[in-house]
Structure formats: structure tokens, C-alpha cells
Structure 1
Amino acid sequence: MKIKIFVITVLSIFVMSCNSKKEQKVDSFDESITGKYWKLKILKGKDIKMEENQKREIFFTLKANDSTVSGFAGCNSLVGQFSIEKGNRIRFKSMSTTLMACQGISFNESEFLKVFELADNYTIKDDILSLNIGRRAPLAVFEAVYLK
């Protein structure tokens, strides 16, 4: 009987320790990418400038506490989920946008939103974030903007 209690206790401790490691992984996001306002600078190799008719600049933020992404795509707001793994791997999922019709804006939102579908890794250097696919040229380049 004592052996059964010992085995059950050891298994319980093992299961609890496995769960605590999972929680650490979820909470251990790379702080250099989360919690910042990432303003779009370059899309598919082309510099991006804010148009006169645009309500605000194109950006996104990643919130570590609930693994959400939110932002603005030029006309519509965007929301979704993300996950980060070892080796600067990133995945976006369940991305959606509002369905506003914006006249007079030439920026192609669908090209920007495609970045979130394709990106599988990122690099950060000196507050410049690149979302990449494989080892190719960046799909999009962003600059961290610190709000006052």
C-alpha cells in the first residue's frame, strides 16, 4: 500500500512540474517584440508613406498576456492571435478585419494582411522588426514607435 501511495505522489509531482513548464513557455514571450507599437515602414521592398486620406498610420501590436495581435491596415482595423516559438518563429492565426469601404486610399490592404498569413519568423535589430518567410527578403519591415 505504501508503494502505491509513493508512486501516486511521484506521478502527481511529475504532472504538476510538466504543467508549470508549459505555463512558463506561454508567459516567456520575447519582450523585444511584444508590447510595442510596430509602424509599417516597408512592404514587399517598397517604402510606405501615410496618405492624406488615411485616418492613421499602418501598425500592429502584440499583447503577451492574451496572445492577441491588433492594429490598423490602412482602412480597416485588424485583430487575431499569435504564437512565438524558439528560434524567432512566429505564427499568426484567426486574423480578421473590419469591413469598411475607404475611398481615395491607394494602399493595398490585402498585400499587408497577406504578410500575417505568410510570415513564419522575425528578426529585430535596433527597434526594427522584419517579418519574414524562410530565409528570403523580409515581407514587411516595421519600426517600434514609443508612445508618450
Structure 2
Amino acid sequence: MKLITLNIFAILMLFTSCHTSKTATATASKEITSIENIRWKLVTLMGKDVSDKNAFITFSRDDDKVFGNGSCNNFNGTYQIKEGNQITLSKIAATLMACIDMDVETQFIEVLEKADNYSLNRGTMTLNKARMAPLAIFEAVETE
């Protein structure tokens, strides 16, 4: 009886893990053609892994507003997309909560002010300055 119960449990676990990995793979392989109306989670900033932070950015197609969280404070501003994946972010303002570690947030806001272009590759977006290495790398986590 214990063997049957163990086998049923193992089969259920196998089906559950297969379903989860297929869903994750489908999301990661989905072709994204616009940065707008997607929640982009910050995963790399200036070449360093910051995936443990809650930093994200969203570009709202309806009103050309950008908003997000720098890992502590919320921010917002405006953006303009031009031909050739050129982007300008401006009027970036953030709340002023004091946090223990402000390094990621400070660098993130600086990157937003410096970035002049972006690139998309499936579920990944990078913000760049000219042809330098990516300033920030994001992963798509939600679409509207």
C-alpha cells in the first residue's frame, strides 16, 4: 500500500513540475515586440546581479508615462520612443523614503537618466547608452 501511495505521489509531482516548466518556457519564449505595457523586473544593473531586489519599470502606452520602483522608492516620469529604438526618459521623480541600502536605487535612477536606446530579445529588455555594454537588463514578468 505504501508503494502505491508513493508511486501516485511521484506521478503527481512529475505532472506538476512538467506543467510549471512548460508555462515558464512559454512565457520566456514569447516574442515581445514593444516595451510598452509590460512590467520589466530589473535583474542586472551596471553588470551586477540585482535580481533579489524588487526594482521594476513599466512604460504606459496610453499616456507616455513611465513608473516603477527603484528597490525602495516608487518613481515616475515621462518617456518618448523614437525611430531605431531610441528612447528619452525625462522628468523622473521619486518618493523620498529612507532605506538602509540605497545603492541600487541611486544607480537605477542614474541609468534611467543616461539611457538613450533600448533593445529587445524575447522576454529581455536592455537599456543602453550609445553602443556601450548594457546599463540595465530587465525580464518581462507581466503583460497587460
TM-score normalised by the shorter chain: which range applies?
Answer: 0.7 to 0.9
User: Of 77, 81, 95, which aligns to 2:74?
Assistant: 77
Aligned residue number for residue 124 of structure 1 = 120
Runs of 4+ in structure 1 off by over 6 angstroms are: none
Gaps of 5+ in 2: 1-31
Q: Which has the higher contact order (CA 8 A, sep 6+)?
A: 2
Question: Contact conserved, 1:74 with 1:107, CA < 8 A, in 2?
Answer: no
Aligned-pair distance for 1:127?
A: 1.1
Does 2:39 match 1:37?
yes
| Aligned amino acid, residue 108 of structure 2 | F
Q: Which amino acid aligns with 2:43?
A: K
Tell me which moved more, 106-115 or 31-40.
106-115
Cross-structure match for 1:141 = 137
Contact 2:40 2:142 in 1 (8 A): no
1:97 shift after superposition: 0.2
Computing the radius of gyration from Cα coordinates, the structure with the larger value is 1
- What CA RMSD, in Å, does the superposition of the two structures yield over aligned residues? 1.8
The amino acid of 1:144's aligned partner reads A
Specify the SS of the correspondent of 1:42: strand
Amino acid at match of 1:69: V
Cα separation, 1, equivalents of 2:92 and 2:102: 22
Cα-to-partner distance string for 1:69-126 (whole Å, 9 max, x where unaligned): 00000110000000000000000000000000113x3643111101111000000001
Q: How many residues align?
A: 113
* TM, length-normalised to structure 2: 0.73
